[in-house]
Amino acid sequence: MTEVSFTLYKSIDLTGSSCAGVIGELSGVYEELRQGEYVEVLIGADSDKKDLYAWASRVGAKIMKDEKVDKGFRLEVARPK
Amino acid sequence: MKKVFVAGGGIGGTIAANRLAERLKPEVDKEDVSITVFDKSENHVFQPSQLLVGMGLENPADIVKNERELLNPKVRLLNGKAGEITKIDVQNHSFVTSDGKSHEYDYAVISTGSTLDWEMVPGLKEEMHTVWDMDGAVQTRNLIRNFTGGTVVFNVARLPHKCPVGPLEETLMLEDYLKRKGLKEKTELVYTYPVAGVFGIPNVNKVMTKIFEQRGIRVISPFTVKAVDPQAKTIESNEGEKIKYDLLLGVPPHMGTKVVGDSAIGDRRNWIPTDKNSLQMKDHSNVYVMGDTTDIPISKAGSTADFESYTVAENITSEIRGNESRKMYDGSVFCFIATGFDTATYIRFNYANPPVPPPPSTIHWWAKLAYNKLYWSLTAKAVV
């Protein structure tokens, strides 16, 4: 369950092909986040999720939610306070 | 009369305006519809060819033309202060221009592009030479011509940026140049990229990484540049790497244009929230957004804007005519990728179908050059 104190900055659908790739697109949005905000991310593949977790660990992003949805996975990625 | 305004006379705005004029020809001829392009500049730069300027294969004058000559004669063009938009007011459906006038529209197409955000990284502007602007392309050409060996670092500062395959092209063309000039043995070429690998799409990354290995190009990634030290000639990353260079080339961070920020219609990087299929600005159905301007996770490239122009022109035409049919943008992108001075490959993909680049060949290289030449007479004029 999403922590009440975190606020949604934006939602991005990364289920399609993009030159920057899932991590390139997400890292761009993550830099826009202020502390206490999160981005809702839709991704399609298991491999993308694995990359996302590795990236989050590297940059210190917090994955608050990870659930299976029709198109793949929905994650909430936050910049910790 | 229905008024359609196009903000920006770059690749996206020009193609969209011309395609709208063609689709809506009966209405435009009867003066039931007017199409107006707003741009401060009279000139239209074919930015993809700035890479070739930087590599000494094109002259700057050959990739710039007068915007008026590219537009359908029925399209009105406002330049200078009359064309410089200071505010896009989507609530009141109007553009305000530098001459103080307010212009009301029925439909707006926002194609104001992207700008370089040099300030994001300390030291970057002093040291990095980039073909992502015209002056930088000329500087790059001169520096490469006078280069006698050393360490060249190519850095992509942040993603996303305009012309995503450009870093691959510039690095591989430079490697080919160094080899032809007998400087390869005296040079270390280092490619640094913010995510693991050399490119974001897995299939393309796999193919291009192999080419980089074969060509002896050192790859350091993920590498998110933190600062550049002009005195020490070092570039440092958030990941803890520090590299000494003799020549620093690359792509500075990108963001949307100032007018988007001043109009409070974008996100914190001035990209406008856009529906990825309809290309309508979110919550504003009479505003379409295209090219670099959108926040869609797709390539910021001229070909993207070209593909998007079909959706924008078709849907505005349908709305004006009261038709119910709507075209959806499927994420189509097509980019040639130069792999040297006489070889290239390409990628063609959409949201649902990732690309697989074919082996580099001279045929693709000549196709790239031909496409660039035909841009002026076919693509920009929305003939195809």
- Each domain of chain B, given as residue ranges in start order, spans 2-113+257-331, 117-253
- B17 has a pLDDT exceeding 90: yes
Residue of chain A with shortest Cα separation from B195: A24
Backbone angles phi, psi at B154, to 5 degrees: -105, 125
Fold of B2-113+257-331: FAD/NAD(P)-binding domain (3.50.50)
Task: With a cut of 70, say whether residue A4 has pLDDT above it.
Answer: no
Q: Let me know: does B368 contact B172? Beta carbons within 8 Å.
A: no
CATH of A7-78, one of 3.90.700.10, 3.40.50.300, 3.30.110.40, 3.60.15.10: 3.30.110.40
User: Is residue B40 predicted with pLDDT exceeding 90?
Assistant: yes
Domains B2-113+257-331 and B117-253 share a fold: yes
Report DSSP letters for B350-364, one per residue.
Answer: -SSS---PPPPBHHH
Angle (CA) A48 A50 A53, round 5°? 110
Global pTM reads 0.96
Give B267's contacts in chain A (Cβ within 8 Å): 10, 32
| Structure confidence at residue B93 as a pLDDT band (50, 70, 90) | very high
User: Residue B208's closest CA among B170, B177, B259?
Assistant: B170
Name which of B238, B268, B354 is nearest A17 (Cβ-Cβ).
Answer: B354
- The residues, any chain, with a CB within 8 Å of residue B296's CB and separated by 6 or more, are B274, B276
User: Which residue reads 């992502």 in tokens?
Assistant: B132
Nearest CA to B105 among B90, B91, B94, B89? Answer: B94
Instruction: Classify A9 as helix, strand or coil.
Output: strand
pLDDT tens-digit readout, B194-226: 999 999 999 999 999 999 999 999 999 999 999
Q: Which structure tokens are listed for B248?
A: 């620093």
Summarize pLDDT for B46-86 with one digit per residue, the tens: 999 999 999 999 999 999 999 999 999 999 999 999 999 99
Whose tokens are 């107006």? That residue is B36
Q: What are the sequence ranges of the domains in chain A?
A: 7-78
Lookup: tokens for B369: 């050059």
ipTM for this model: 0.91
Instruction: Note which residues in 343-372 of chain B have CB less than 8 A from chain A.
Output: 349-355
**Average of per-residue pLDDT across B302-324:** 97
Percent of chain A with pLDDT over 90: 86
Task: Show contacts of B20-28: CB within 8 Å, 24+ apart.
Answer: B20/B75, B20/B109, B20/B312, B20/B313, B20/B316, B20/B317, B21/B71, B21/B72, B21/B74, B21/B75, B22/B72, B22/B313, B22/B382, B23/B313, B23/B314, B23/B317, B24/B316, B24/B317, B24/B320, B25/B74, B27/B2, B27/B320, B27/B321, B28/B74
pLDDT class for B131, splitting at 50, 70, 90?
Answer: very high
Chain centroid offset of residue A59 CA: 12
Smallest Cβ–Cβ distance between A18 and the set B196, B298, B352 belongs to B298
The mean of the pLDDT values for chain B is 97
The pLDDT of residue A71: 86
Q: Do B164 and A19 touch (CB under 8 A)?
A: yes
The pLDDT of residue A3 is above 80:
no
* pLDDT single digits (tens) B189-199: 999 999 999 99
What pLDDT, on the 0 to 100 scale, is given for residue A5?
85
Res. A2: pLDDT tops 70: no
Instruction: Tell me the CATH number for domain B117-253.
Output: 3.50.50.60
d(CA B199, CA B215): 16
Determine the pLDDT at residue B112. Answer: 98
Condensed to tens digits (0 to 9), the pLDDT of residues B287-308 reads 999 999 999 999 999 999 999 9
Percent of residues, chain B, with pLDDT higher than 70? 100
Alpha helical stretches, state H, chain B: 11-23, 25-29, 50-54, 67-70, 80-83, 124-127, 134-146, 166-180, 202-214, 258-262, 302-321, 362-374
pLDDT over 80 (residue B378): yes
